Amino acid sequence: MAEKKSDPIVVIGLGRFGSSIALELAARGSEVLAIDSRPKVVQSLAGRITNIATADATDIEALRQLGVPDFYRAVVAIGSDLEASILATSLLVELELEDIWAKAVSRQHGQILHRIGAHHVVFPEHDMGERVAHLVSGRMLDYVEVDENFALVKTHPPKEFVGVPLGQSKLRRKYGVTIVAVKSPGEEFTYTTADTELSYGDIVLVSGRSDNVERFAELP
């Protein structure tokens, strides 16, 4: 069997989510094969994605003709049409792609995608909703849960940590979090050291258990 293309990625379903993925991958220099069943969608993206095709991803022959079996990695970004999402994912499993990502719109949808062989299931609406909930209810500038109960937060330093070298601040002992990077106004993010002293206008990246980073971000 010919070696599979390890870098190129197939993106199936070019709604808001799928087209963002395809465009971002293309912008980052990955080779992308983008597929959608609606000619209008394909036309509107054709200038920005070189390798794009109108095809029904629930048709295994169409996928074969496009060379999909040669790919190593694919994303199924069909959401509202559950039948198409499940069928397209199962065909990619049948075609033995080794790294299949699929978007789910509900927990049950996600379970089915996992059971039929998707290697990664993502819940963009759910995850973004959770993230925005953290942002609107607190003072954080950004919040990413990197694992269950472990988060990375972008926020301003609480006043008790301003003007004290981090090495002397007892930050980890008191709040169970680590400030991993700092950005002063007009500058770029840089790693912190034990000697770093924070200022009021700084933005910090804080990592730690979700409850700890949230508590830290609430400090005055």
Question: What is the binding site for ligand ATP (CB under 6 A)?
Answer: 12-18, 35-38, 41, 56-58, 77-81, 84, 88
Identify which of residues 66 and 180 has a Cβ nearer to ligand ATP in the complex. 66
In whole angstroms, the minimum distance from the beta carbon of 52 to ligand ATP comes to 12
Which two three-digit tokens encode residue 81?
Answer: 């049409």
In whole angstroms, the minimum distance from the beta carbon of 109 to ligand ATP comes to 11
Where helices occur in 100-195 by DSSP H, the ranges are 107-115, 124-137, 171-175
Identify which of residues 102 and 198 has a Cβ nearer to ligand ATP in the complex. 102
In whole angstroms, the minimum distance from the beta carbon of 82 to ligand ATP comes to 9
In whole angstroms, the minimum distance from the beta carbon of 102 to ligand ATP comes to 12
Give the whole-angstrom CA distance, residue 49 versus residue 32.
8
Identify which of residues 77 and 140 has a Cβ nearer to ligand ATP in the complex. 77
Identify which of residues 56 and 160 has a Cβ nearer to ligand ATP in the complex. 56
Instruction: Report residue 32: phi and psi, to 5°.
Output: -125, 135
Burial class from Cβ neighbours inside 10 Å (0-12, 13-18, 19+) for residue 4 reads middle
Nearest to 166 by CA among 132, 190, 130: 190
Give the whole-angstrom CA distance, residue 102 versus residue 124.
10
Identify which of residues 14 and 171 has a Cβ nearer to ligand ATP in the complex. 14
Burial class from Cβ neighbours inside 10 Å (0-12, 13-18, 19+) for residue 78 reads buried
Under a CB-based contact definition with an 8 Å cutoff, are residues 154 and 204 in contact?
A: yes
In whole angstroms, the minimum distance from the beta carbon of 44 to ligand ATP comes to 10
